[in-house]
Every structure is written in C-alpha cells, then in structure tokens.
Structure 1
Amino acid sequence: MKFFVTCPKGIEQLLEQELQSLGAGSTKQTVAGVYFDGDLELAYTVCLWSRLANRVLLQIAEGEAASAEQLYQLVQSVDWLEHLRSTGTFCVDFSGKSEAINNTHFGALKVKDAIVDQIRDATGKRPTVERVQPDLRVNAHLAKGQVSLAVDLSGESLHRRGYRRQAGAAPMKENLAAAVLMRSGWPEAQEQLTLVLDPMCGSGTLLIEAALMAADIAPGLFRRQFGFSYWLGHQASLWQKQVDDAEQRRARGLERCDVRFIGYDADAQVLARASQNARQAGVEHLLTLQHGELARLKRPDAPGAGLVVTNPPYGERLGEESELMFLYQLFGQLLRKHFAGWRVAVFTGNPDLCKVMKLRADKQYRMFNGAIPSQLLLFQVHEKEQAEGGAAEQPLSSQAQMFDNRLRKNLKQLMRWRKREGISCFRVYDADIPEYAVAVDYYDPLVMIQEYAPPASVDRVKAFDRVQEVVRVVQQVFELTPEQVVLKQRKRQQGSDQYTRHNETGHFYTVVEHGVQLRVNLHDYLDSGLFLDHRPVRRMIQQLAAGKEVLNLFCYTASATCHAVVGGARNSTSVDMSATYLEWARRNLDLNGADPSKHLLVQEDCFKWLAKPHRQRYDLIFMDPPTFSNSKRMREVLDVQRDHVRLISDAMQLLRPDGLLIFSNNYRRFSLDYEALSAFDIRDITAKTLDPDFKRNARIHTVFEIRHRS
C-alpha cells in the first residue's frame, strides 16, 4: 500500500525519521508531509505511535483531471462499496485548484456526486454527507492537473490526542510540541538529563508530551475513534493487537520512568488546566506544577543537569513587544545565573525577542506554529555565562546620562507648580530628546512610561536597550522599585483600541487635581483613565459650573463631570457607549460626593443620543470626541474631522442662549470648519489650555469655546 502522512511545515525531516523508526519503507519527503510504502499493520502503527503526524492517507487512485468530468470519471473508477456501506456517512476534504476546477467547494462537490451516484446506481440506496465523525473521510488533492484520491485513516487530526480538554489562549499543538522536544534531544537524552522544566508552561503541553515520550506511551491511546474505525477495509483484530501491545508498553514505561517534570506559570487558572490535562494523560504523578512568576525561577534541588524547554509568549497584542523583551531578558539572566550546564530550548514566533537573552544559540530550526513562521533556538548554558549573569550593573551611557539630566531638570521645574496647584499626577518628560522617544507621567506614587513605537527601520534590540535605560533612569530619579514603574508602547490607534482592555490586574489608584479625586488604572488599558493634557479644561469647567446644568458627551471616565460636581453644578448628564467606562465614571462621581439622582450616566452612542428629542437644555456642554472610532456598538464610523460640524451643530441645539460649549479633540491635524459653523461665535482657546507640563507640545490638543451669537 502507498501512504501519505501530513505534518506541520518545517518538521518533514523529523517525520521521515520517525516513520523509518516505525518500519516504513521507500520514504520520500515533500512540503508538509512524507510518502511511504507499507501494509495496513504499519498504517495502524503510525496512527497509534506517530507523535508528529497530522493525517495518515491511504492512496487509492491517481490520475489526470483536466476537467470536472475527468475528475468525476476518476472518482467513479474506484469501487466505493469496498470502503463504505450504501447507507453509511462520508465527507470529502478537497485541496488544490486548476482552470477547470477553480475552487475547493466545487471540487469536493464533484467527488461527492461521483461517490453517491455510483453507490445509488449499484444498490438503490445512497450514503449521506456528515462532517463530524463520518464513517469514511475521503481526501482529494489536485496539483498540476493530477488528482490523488485517498482514504483518511486518521479521521480527526492526530495532533488532537484527546487528553487536552482545556488549553490557554494560544496553545501549542501537541505534535509541534513533540517536534520541539525531539529537536531538543528528548527523549534520547533522559539518561544524562533526569529533569525537564518549563518555566512558562501554560496548559502543560510540552511537559505532558515529554512525559509521554519518557514513559513510552503511545499518543494514539487517548483517542476514542480513528478514520478507519468504520471503514470497510478495517481489520479490528489487527488493530486490537496493536492497542494491547501499546497498553503493556505504557504500564512498563510508567513503572520505570524516573524523570521529573516541573512546570511553573504566573496564571493560576491556566495551571489548573495543565493539571487536569496531565490527569487525563495519566502522567499527573510525574509532573510537579507550581504557581509562580518567572522572576522567582531558580534551579531545582536535583543532582546533575536538565532540560529547560518553553514556548514563551511572543504576542501580537498592542504594546506587548517592549514588555516581552523585559521578560526574555529576565529569562536570560536567570538562566545564566542558575542553570549552568543545562540545555535550553526556546520556541518562539518572534526570534528577535531571544536576542535580548544574551545567550548564543548552538542550533536554530525553522518551524511553523500554524501559519506563524517560528524558530526553535537551542542553547547550552556555560559556566562563563553563569558568571556574567551575576555581573554588576553597567554605568549609564553618555546619552542616558543626558536623559537623566533632562528628567531631573524637568522634575525640579514642575514640583513647585504641582504642589501649588494641588496636583498629584503630571507629565514630566515628552520625547524632549529624539533618541529617547517616550512620555514619562508621574502618578504619585507610580510612574508610567509610554514608549512611542519606533519606525520599522530601527533595530528593535537597540530600541529595547534605550527603553531599558529609560526605565533604569526613571527608577533612579524617582527612587522607585521596579514594581512602581509601568511601561507601555503607544502605536497608531485603530478604532476603539485605546479603550480596549489589555490586562486584568484591577489595580486602581486615586489621584487628586484641584481638589477633585479621580481613579486611575495604569496597568490594564492603554490610557490611564485620565487625559493629563486636558487638566486646564477640567479646571475651567470646575470654575464655570456653579449652579449650572452640565452635559458631558463622550464622557470616558467622567473626570470633567467630577470637576463640575466639585465646582457646584446643579445637575449633570454624562454620555458614553462603554459600560466599562461608565462604571469607572460612577465610582469617580461617588468619590466626589455626587448625588446619583442629580448626576446621570447614560450608556449610548453620542450620535444616536444627540439625534433624539430632548426637553432639557444645558448651560455648559463639554465634548471631547475620539479622533476616530469604528466600534461595533456605534451605528456609524466616527471621524472627528469629517463629523465635527454635525456633532457641534447637534450639541448647540441643547445649549441655552447664554450657554457655553467647550469642544476639544486630540487630532494633531484638526482644522475646524468655521464657514460651516458660521452661525456660532467660536474662539480658539488652545493656548490657554496648556499647563506647564505640556507647554513643550503645543499640538497635544485643540480647544474651542462655542456660543450662540447674540
């Protein structure tokens, strides 16, 4: 029989070696798979024992298919009653295309029709199509006008072992984990390495696969069904013999396995999933799983060396890269400090992150994690590197010293002002020196550093070194611990990205400005919940609010409303479409003693709210819309340059004759359409709304006072 075994791209050589070790002959590699010759017993062995395969395909026909009719005739040349009962179920997986067959759905339909027509003509009955667990899965592949037809003996992809009921957010497939371990020298090295450690183990896939290898457990033993289970060519006794033999090997392997497998993770929930998965795989007694941050990683108390193997995060989320570089750097430091003599294997979709580990890779292998090009890097930690891991911190570079001096100078100039004004949060530095493109904001007692994303032309490791210097200088100048410094990366925002939650710490702090208390969160969102540059506008609202009825549109966390409350506003209405931020707003109002019956919060799209009829009119309206938003909760896309005339006109309908609308936004190239708004008296007051901490950045926002003409 001729077979084709599929696998993830990048591990074809490993798969060929594995198939040869299982007894396959005449093997031949191709992209994402290997051909081999053998009998049905060997095919069962591959289904049961292959740790790398996705699918095992038994080839049953091959021929030219220059047209849809030729494809139909080729499929009809197979006697399908040898494979499928007349009343059975089947499905067709079709890949490839040609001029005549230009999409896979059409190709699958022609194969299905040929099978159904043949069986119906022969028996008067017809099989039915079933996508989930069919009796027969037919595979058809079209390339260069040639079609290969095969019976899929695996059924569901073999990487789905069956033990992993739960996984983390971005789980590694089981066969890819096995490939990583094989490239790392496991399990052949278990005589020299009696311990395997994953410091960021997630749902435990690497450790469980390593344990299955060490204990000689067939990965197919956990599966309830294969593609051959209801195939008419299946030989149940031959298969059962294989299963019985595998069960005996599992019992012997578990009895003699003396390897320790240790996993750590900072997420207790994910770690619980790892424990459950290990229990399903029957290797929970071999694994030790502990909840802990990477920073606490130390060499286990065990003789000899071991293998550190891990798939650290290499995320795609906003602002993650800088944070992850610190993680990888810390990982490298801990390896050099505690793990001399150990082997290290790091699998990542972002190899640049590994450069900051300061370890030289002995070998590198290209693989694919799904569609993501990835690399496996193998290291050996040497004694010299261990000594370097504990080396003293290097002195600051001359450029970093310049940044240090500028930060101290700015802080000295601003401290008197902030004490006089009663402000506990302010901007200390905003890209004053081009080489250090960051903003530094002080939120007593924390500091938030926002790194402006460097251009693609800038070397990311060098950019990271600069950010490291920034963090180090900030800690020194403000005399802070590492936990008191929060680092974020700002990129060009799309839609409502700036309002999207990025973490789940729930760490809120209360800050004060002009007698108003406000809650901020520096960890969970891109912005803190308080736009520092709008502080003078909020103070203006506070000074104008006494006895007034106030409307705050696009209110965010309602900080401006809180200033109005403290300023003596008679009542207020604050409108925003985010339930999360309105809850934050409610807590801000509570902090400042607002009466909920007089100060209302409304969850709605401001466009829709303004379009409704309203009886109430307002003395003071504040509107600070985002530059752009395409949130799914909005009826239409908001573009402040395009839509500001409509927004202002609609808001002015709700403003009393002697009232004031304050309109602001942060679009750097904003240009107000005076002609379209000529019915109103408009004054640009931007220059008056820049406190000393934002004087260096006059384009941070624009602010206008808008009144009805007399």
Structure 2
Amino acid sequence: MNETVYEFFATCLPGAEKLLADELHGLGVRKVRPLSGGASFFGAPEDALRACLWSRLAGRVNLTVGRVVARDADALYAGVRELPWEAVIAEEASIAVRASGTNAELRNTQFVALKVKDAICDRLAEVRGARPDVSPQQPDALFEVRLREEKATLSLDLSGRSLTRRAYLGDEAAEEAPAVVSQAATLLAAVGAVELFAEGTTFLDPVDDDSILAREEAEVREDRAPGLLRERWGFTGWTAFPEKAWDALLDEADERCEARMALLATAPVRPDAPRLVASVASAFRADDDAEAVAARAACVAASREAPAGSRFAFAGFEGMAAKFKEEPAARLKLGRGRSETTIEVFDEPPRRPAVIAVANPAGGADIPVEVNDPAAVQFASRLRKVARERRKWAAREGVACYRLYDADVPEYACAIDLYEGAAAAEGELYAHVAEYAPPKSVDPGQARARFEDVLALVPVVLGIPPEHVFSKSRLRAKGGGQYRDAGGRRFVTHTSEDGLICEIDLGGYLDTGIFLDHRVTREMVGKMAAGKRFLNLFAYTGVATLHAAAGGAKETTTVDLSQTYLDWAARNLASNGFAFEVADKPNRRDRTGGGSSRGRRGGAANKLVRADVTRWIAEARRRRDCYDLIFVDPPTFSNSKAMGRRTWDVQRDHVELLISVSRLLADGGVAVFSCNLRTFKPAIEELGRCGVELEDITARTIPHDFERNPRIHKCYLVRRK
C-alpha cells in the first residue's frame, strides 16, 4: 500500500465549503480544511478515490502536484520543468493542460497552458526518452494550472470531468444540468437528508417528481455512490493509481447499495411519516415569471398539506420566506453568476393564505387562487371583463396579437398583451406581461407581491398554461434613459398580422419583435406602398417592410444598426415568401433557402442594410437616392456602443433627421414619422423654414386596444413643401 501522504483539493459551489468538509470527514478523510471554493485534504490515494466515488457535493477532486514561481513565461517554464512529472504521469498516458488566471506578464491562458505543456513534455523526454502524447479532448491525465499574482499551482484532475455530470444525466443533458445537480445535492446535505431518510422521512418535489433533485434524493435514500456508474476517470493516468483498491471500493459500493435496497423493500411505509418537501427552481427561469409563481404556489400548497414533523427546503425560490410562519431555520447562499442561488430550510409549515375565487374561463366551478392580497380580486375582475370584450373585437377584426390590459387598476401596474400563435404555433395562445417600474413612493416588497398576484392570476383568468405566460420588468439602465432587458431565456415562436407571419421572442428581450401600438400605422403603410419605392429606417424586425412588400411595393430597403434585428427581419421576409439580399454581401441572399434579389412574392426587390441610420441617410443623399414612401420610427433614446461616442435623442435630433429624410423623397413622396416619446413636441416652425411640412395623424393611428392610452405614440406625415 502506498504510504505517501498527498495533498488534494475538492471543489464545490461557493457557499458549500463547510458542508463539503463535513462530507469528506464522513468519508473517513482526515486533515480536511474548508477553503474558498472547496476543501483541501491530505491522505493516501485511496482517500482521493473514495472522495471521487462518494462525494455528492464535490465538482472535482484534484491532486496538487506543486507550486512554482510564475512572474513571467521563463520562470513558469523553469519551475514546471523542475517538478517530478515522471512520478505523476503514468507510462504511455496522454496529457492535456488547461489554465486559468492571469498576471501582469502572463495575460493569455492559452499561452500559459502551452508553456506548461512544453515544460512537462520536455521533462519527460529528458527522463524517459519520449514525450507523452497530447490529447486535448480526452486525455488520460488532465492538468490544471492556476495563476495568482506571481505564483502558479499545478494539479492533476482526478475526476476527468465534473463529478456533478452524473451518469443518469446522459449525453443529451442541458448545459445547466450539472449546476442544478450541485444545487440539489447541497440542498439535501443542508437539510440533513441522510439522517432524515434513516428515520423514515418521505420525500416530495411538488414541481417535478422526475427532477434532478428527485434523482439525487433516490441515490441518497438507496445509499448509491454517485460515481458508481461512471465509466471514465482522470486518475487512471496517475502513477499512484491503486487499481486493486479501486476495485475494492467499487465492490463495497455495490454491496452497500444492494443491502439498502433490500432493506427498503421490506420497510413499512407509514402514511403519517414526516415528509421532506423540497424543490430546486429552474436554472434559467426568472423568479417572477408565471411559471415560477405557479411552481412556488405548488411548493407552498404541498408544504401546507405535509404531515406533522415535516421539513421544507427550497433552492432558488425568492420570496418563499413570506409564505411561511417564521424565518428560515437555515439560509445558505450558493454559487456565483449563472449558478447563484439561495437555499432556505423551514421547520414550520406555511401560514394560511388569502384565497380568491376566479371564474373558470372554460365554464364550471370557480377556481380558487392563492394571492398575497385579497384586493387582487379587482385586478382579476377587470382582466376578465376586458379580455372578454377584446377577444370578441379581435375575432371580428381579424387581429391576432393585441393589448388586453394597461394598468387599468393602478395598483397593478403592468401591461398584458395576448399573442395567437401562427405557422407551427397555430392554435397556441401566449400572454406577455410587462411590469412597469413602481414609483419610489411604493414599497418594493408590496410591488413585488402585487406582481406575483398578477402572474398567479393571468393564466387562470385567461385559461393559458403558466409556461405560456412570459413576464418582463422595465428597469432603468444606469447612465441613460433606455430600459434594460429584465427578461430570461429566449422563447421564439410566431404570430400573425394581417395574414403576415411574424417571428416573436416572448422570453429573451424586453420587447417581443412587434410593436402592437403601431398596428394601424403598418396597415396604412401597406396600403400606401403599391408600386412605390419604400424605405424603412430604424427598421427593428422589419414588420413594416413586410406590409410594404405585401402591399405591392416596387422595391423595399430596410436599414437598421443591429445585426440581430436585421437577421430577424430577414427571417420575417423569408417566412412570408419574400426573397431578399443583404447590401454589399451578395453571398448572403435569402439565408433561409436561396432565391434571387427579385421577390418570389409580388416581384419586389427587398434589400437589407446594416448601418448607422443617420450616417446612411447622409450617404444616400450624396448618392441622390430617391424614395416614394419612407417609414421612420426611431428610438426615443439610444447610447448604443455601435454608435461610438454619439447618442440619439428623438426630441433633440428630430429636426435634423426629418430634414434629411425629406431630401430623400421623390416628387409627391411622403414619409411616415412615428415616435414613442409621450412628451414629444415637433419643431414645426423650424422644420417649416427648411421646407418640411408635418401633418399630425396620431389620432388616426391609435388602435382600439390602445385607446385608454392615446399618448402611446405620436405619428406624422412628412412632406416637402
């Protein structure tokens, strides 16, 4: 048996270090010390192998090979070459190196990894007479070099790949699955699941009975080693790998699992046994969307019905403490960035809720809905009333996406839009809920509670599945007037407008891809476009271009600074059978399936141009370009990085913009100018002195579903005198 004492480091989610140290102690490991991001320990190779096989909390288990000076590349190379790699890397084992961290002289991690790899290979070539094979994808021995100031720590990854990539996940698991495994395993450790299950406590995940948490719970209950079915390990390329000891560890793990399974098969099930009610929120679900609110409600309801003596634990469910009788018995903050979450453990069941009755949209008995404030019944009643009227109007007018509610009840300050699916989404129904930023006079906690009630009620009142209700929050960005996106994961589908298929993203952006208040304006543009040369400036996703092309425009030109939106416009054109070409990039024609610059539908030439609009207009004037119909819908404010140091303000800059646009108009041509600044005041006299005439047509362009808010936009016809 190898009696050498080695230094190891097991990684874990930040915040779980103490739990990991306790787990390692429980595995018989001695000299354990919790550190930031993991725990160090000392022991024999068997101790590290046992940690690899049994640890539920560790992400990786690394063997510390050495620490060297890394003030510059030469010092790093010299220090690494001096280490006894022949005592670490097994004969004929392939290697790979990855690096993290930088310092003043070593600022490229790929260069650092290459330098370390060269030093290792040169050392082995000198000692063994042959360089090891390098296998970046599947090495037998994966080494990690971490730079911190002028020091570098070199380690051998004994795990091979993250231990949280459990065998049950399979190869098709979502990217975030290992992070959810870490959260689930940590939750079970935090609540003392091993002891609870030994006492006969049962388990329930009210959100998903086949969740990752449920799989982790089953492995704990069955005493199944999480690494038992793993096929590939990083320690097989280690000279000190004790193969016989590893086989013995596997045999022991098999025997333990079989013994526990036999015990569980004969153990009586008590109907009144205490229960662990627990759940881990979706890694990419916003904590305030309708699906999250429904999940939280399910957890609270299940907790309330649990037998006496039950415990309750939740990860990633914000606002859960307000549902319970007392503060959490334990609260643990975990992770950073995408994996950041909070675990809360409760010993007492939730408080009794307020419940309101909501009319069932499908008929039958009323549906009880738990809310934070019984006054939410006013919101539910208003939404039900306006939805009934608006759906009849939409069916009569052939409108597929429209506004239902716009802060009709001031305390419930949000906008709710309804989208009927089209194309592959035909027959589906979606709701988009945008929360307005509350005034400073409103308590943030109260505003949050009201918005939770909105999201709990919208699916019930409208008869839409919670997963089809998407929510956003309008929050001011730092340093400017633009709103920052408070959405979540993208959800791309299609709706229609006047028979045109339009792509929308209900989840990923603050706006969905189609401005509903401009519906009448776009219809007007389509009717005006027949036989015209049409120009769409600040085009967004190009829906106005669709109307112009469908209306028989002779040609269309669509200009926007954002490549994302220009690609979106291209997909919209292709979905409706219109060919297009990208300006100055002839090889990018109709990327959805070929075609020429001549339209397959209507015979129009449709050109897409990525450019700063104001600069493009100046260039178009120099070229003496000419258009019969121009649609101009600029943002209220923009400080896009693509604009350089310049900013855009529609009130400040509209005079120069409209003068320039008017110079692109052909004889008898007209521009449609729209903006959403509610306080906008056109400089009519100044424009008039420059030969530009404005006709205010705002009242004619406000759709029925926006009549409660006629200041939603301003719209003008622009002509040259």
TM-score after normalising by structure 1: 0.70
2:572 paired with 1:581:
yes
Aligned to 2:415: 439
Q: Which of the numbers 362, 382, 390 marks the counterpart of 2:329?
A: 362
In structure 2, do the counterparts of structure 1 residues 550 and 531 end up closer, same or farther at CA, with 3 Å as the change threshold? farther
Aligned to 1:168: 174
Q: Distance in 2 between the 1:533 and 1:66 partners? A: 60
Q: Deviations 1:174-195 (Å, cap 9, x if unpaired)?
A: 3443222122222332244464
In structure 2, do the counterparts of structure 1 residues 500 and 612 end up closer, same or farther at CA, with 3 Å as the change threshold? farther
Q: Which of the numbers 208, 224, 246 marks the counterpart of 2:215?
A: 208
Q: Deviations 1:500-558 (Å, cap 9, x if unpaired)?
A: 9943576x588xxxxx778899994666776454366457658x749764737349575
- State the secondary structure of the residue aligned to 1:5: strand
2:347 paired with 1:343:
no
2:454 paired with 1:491:
no
State the AA in 2 paired with 1:581.
N
Aligned to 1:624: 633
Q: Distance in 2 between the 1:673 and 1:302 partners? A: 76
Q: Which of the numbers 650, 657, 669 marks the counterpart of 2:667?
A: 657
Q: Which of the numbers 667, 674, 696 marks the counterpart of 1:685?
A: 696
Aligned to 2:241: 234
State the AA in 2 paired with 1:660.
V
2:469 paired with 1:503:
no
Q: Deviations 1:576-606 (Å, cap 9, x if unpaired)?
A: 642443467679xxxxxxx985485847247
- State the secondary structure of the residue aligned to 2:315: strand
Q: Distance in 1 between the 2:254 and 2:382 partners? A: 70
Give how far 1:4 is off: 2.2
Aligned to 2:593: none
Aligned to 2:25: 20
Give how far 1:27 is off: 2.0
Q: Unaligned 5+ residue runs, structure 2?
A: 358-367, 421-428, 559-565, 579-598
In structure 2, do the counterparts of structure 1 residues 372 and 437 end up closer, same or farther at CA, with 3 Å as the change threshold? same
Aligned to 2:139: 134
User: How many pairs align?
Assistant: 643
> Contact between 1:340 and 1:386, CA under 8 Å: does it hold in 2?
no
Q: Distance in 1 between the 2:51 and 2:407 partners? A: 60
Q: Distance in 2 between the 1:705 and 1:385 partners? A: 59
State the AA in 1 paired with 2:242.
Q
- State the secondary structure of the residue aligned to 1:167: coil
State the AA in 1 paired with 2:164.
H
Q: Which of the numbers 45, 51, 60 marks the counterpart of 1:46?
A: 51
State the AA in 2 paired with 1:304.
A
State the AA in 2 paired with 1:234.
F
In structure 2, do the counterparts of structure 1 residues 651 and 169 end up closer, same or farther at CA, with 3 Å as the change threshold? farther
> Contact between 1:685 and 1:703, CA under 8 Å: does it hold in 2?
yes
Q: Distance in 2 between the 1:696 and 1:353 partners? A: 33
> Contact between 2:277 and 2:302, CA under 8 Å: does it hold in 1?
no
Give how far 1:683 is off: 0.7
Q: Distance in 2 between the 1:389 and 1:403 partners? A: 14
In structure 2, do the counterparts of structure 1 residues 370 and 133 end up closer, same or farther at CA, with 3 Å as the change threshold? farther
2:608 paired with 1:604:
yes
Q: Deviations 1:58-112 (Å, cap 9, x if unpaired)?
A: 3444576677666555444433222336765333455556667666556555544
Q: Distance in 2 between the 1:94 and 1:475 partners? A: 48
Q: Deviations 1:457-501 (Å, cap 9, x if unpaired)?
A: 96543113333566799999xx86576996643526979979999
Aligned to 1:278: none
Q: Which of the numbers 115, 122, 132 marks the counterpart of 2:120?
A: 115
Q: Distance in 2 between the 1:472 and 1:117 partners? A: 64
Mapping of residues 392-431 of structure 1, within 5 Å = 430-431=406-407
Q: Distance in 1 between the 2:253 and 2:680 partners? A: 71
Q: Deviations 1:591-636 (Å, cap 9, x if unpaired)?
A: xxxx9854858472476999899999875444435557999999xx
Q: Distance in 2 between the 1:228 and 1:404 partners? A: 60
Mapping of residues 129-528 of structure 1, within 5 Å = 129-141=134-146, 148-164=153-169, 165-168=171-174, 170-173=176-179, 174-193=181-200, 195-201=202-208, 204-258=211-265, 304-313=273-282, 315=284, 321-323=288-290, 326-341=293-308, 342-348=310-316, 352-355=318-321, 357-358=323-324, 360=326, 361-368=328-335, 372-380=339-347, 382=349, 385=351, 430-431=406-407, 435-439=411-415, 450-454=434-438, 459-467=443-451, 488-491=471-474, 502-503=490-491, 524=506
> Contact between 1:679 and 1:708, CA under 8 Å: does it hold in 2?
no
- State the secondary structure of the residue aligned to 2:237: coil
- State the secondary structure of the residue aligned to 1:331: helix
Q: Distance in 2 between the 1:410 and 1:85 partners? A: 73
State the AA in 1 paired with 2:17.
E
State the AA in 2 paired with 1:465.
A
Q: Deviations 1:416-470 (Å, cap 9, x if unpaired)?
A: xx89x97978767645776543336689999865321347996543113333566
> Contact between 1:451 and 1:487, CA under 8 Å: does it hold in 2?
no
In structure 2, do the counterparts of structure 1 residues 518 and 60 end up closer, same or farther at CA, with 3 Å as the change threshold? closer
> Contact between 1:438 and 1:452, CA under 8 Å: does it hold in 2?
yes
Q: Distance in 1 between the 2:219 and 2:572 partners? A: 48
TM-score after normalising by structure 2: 0.69
Q: Distance in 1 between the 2:698 and 2:147 partners? A: 68
State the AA in 2 paired with 1:453.
A
- % same residue: 29
State the AA in 1 paired with 2:667.
P
Give how far 1:301 is off: 12
In structure 2, do the counterparts of structure 1 residues 695 and 462 end up closer, same or farther at CA, with 3 Å as the change threshold? same
State the AA in 1 paired with 2:302.
L
In structure 2, do the counterparts of structure 1 residues 67 and 59 end up closer, same or farther at CA, with 3 Å as the change threshold? same
> Contact between 1:686 and 1:701, CA under 8 Å: does it hold in 2?
no
> Contact between 1:308 and 1:344, CA under 8 Å: does it hold in 2?
yes
Q: Distance in 2 between the 1:97 and 1:570 partners? A: 59
> Bigger CA drift: 37-46 or 94-103?
94-103
Q: Which of the numbers 2, 6, 11 marks the counterpart of 2:6?
A: 2
> Contact between 2:474 and 2:486, CA under 8 Å: does it hold in 1?
no
Give how far 1:308 is off: 2.7
> Contact between 2:674 and 2:716, CA under 8 Å: does it hold in 1?
yes
Q: Distance in 1 between the 2:223 and 2:450 partners? A: 49
Q: Distance in 1 between the 2:207 and 2:708 partners? A: 43
> Contact between 1:533 and 1:694, CA under 8 Å: does it hold in 2?
yes
> Contact between 2:8 and 2:48, CA under 8 Å: does it hold in 1?
no
Q: Which of the numbers 60, 63, 67 marks the counterpart of 1:58?
A: 63
Q: Distance in 2 between the 1:180 and 1:707 partners? A: 66
Give how far 1:11 is off: 1.6
Q: Distance in 2 between the 1:396 and 1:246 partners? A: 48
In structure 2, do the counterparts of structure 1 residues 168 and 91 end up closer, same or farther at CA, with 3 Å as the change threshold? closer
> Contact between 1:555 and 1:574, CA under 8 Å: does it hold in 2?
no
Q: Distance in 1 between the 2:201 and 2:337 partners? A: 31
> Contact between 2:353 and 2:370, CA under 8 Å: does it hold in 1?
no
Mapping of residues 697-708 of structure 1, within 5 Å = 699-708=711-720
Q: CA RMSD in A?
A: 5.6
- State the secondary structure of the residue aligned to 1:25: coil
State the AA in 1 paired with 2:318.
D
State the AA in 2 paired with 1:624.
D
